[in-house]
């Protein structure tokens, strides 16, 4: 019975993610924007993210006290920059402007999985090869290129201040 409930929950979240992706429109910033507004936006989302360090992980949770990975990134950007992201990690990856690791900036999202078509995890880059993410140990700060993660892509989240 427990397996059936888990499978139904996974299916429901997948369908919700596809629906969210189909109905969400996000404008992406250019990969080379380097103005002060980017730093200001990072500081505001980082403040929210840092305040959630130690929060518990629950699959499908979107906050404010428990999160899954994409629920965490959605929450941080909604509270810190008033940006609505799609619900699932795959939908977030699909909807954002991709950047290379060489061009990654603080506040960019880092995606993990088997390939860019099977994203299973997302975290927020905070600089110096580190990210904050929600995972089975809860919301933690860790290395982007830890041996247990396979990074498959990076993306920039557009904010209202990017358009200024």
Spell out where the chain has E strands.
56-57, 66-67, 97-99, 109-113, 119-127, 130-135, 138-143, 151-156
Contacts of residue 17, Cβ cutoff 8 Å, sequence gap at least 6: 86, 87, 88, 90, 91
Concerning whether 133 is annotated as a catalytic residue, the answer is yes
Set 68, 108, 121, 162: catalytic member: 121
**Contact in structure between 156 and 123 (CB atoms under 8 Å):** no
Concerning whether 164 is annotated as a catalytic residue, the answer is no
3-state helix, strand, coil in the chain (%, to 5): 40, 25, 35
Set 35, 36, 82, 133: catalytic member: 133
Sign of torsion, CA 162 26 48 140?
Answer: negative
Set 32, 35, 36, 69: catalytic member: 69
Concerning whether 121 is annotated as a catalytic residue, the answer is yes
Catalytic residues: 69, 121, 133
């Amino acid at each position: 019975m427990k397996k059936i409930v888990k499978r139904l929950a996974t299916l429901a979240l997948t369908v919700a993610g596809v629906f969210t992706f189909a109905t969400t429109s996000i404008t992406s910033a250019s990969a080379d924007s380097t103005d002060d507004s980017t730093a200001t936006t990072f500081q505001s989302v980082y403040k929210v993210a840092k305040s959630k360090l130690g929060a518990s992980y629950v699959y499908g949770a979107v906050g404010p006290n428990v999160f899954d990975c994409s629920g965490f990134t959605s929450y941080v950007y909604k509270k810190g920059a008033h940006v609505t992201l799609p619900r699932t990690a795959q939908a977030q990856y699909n909807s954002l402007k991709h950047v290379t690791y060489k061009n990654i900036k603080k506040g960019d999202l880092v995606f993990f999985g088997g390939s860019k078509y099977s994203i299973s995890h997302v975290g927020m880059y905070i600089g110096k090869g580190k990210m904050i993410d929600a995972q089975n140990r809860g919301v933690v700060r860790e290395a982007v290129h830890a041996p247990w993660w396979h990074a498959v892509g990076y993306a920039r989240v557009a904010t209202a201040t990017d358009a200024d």
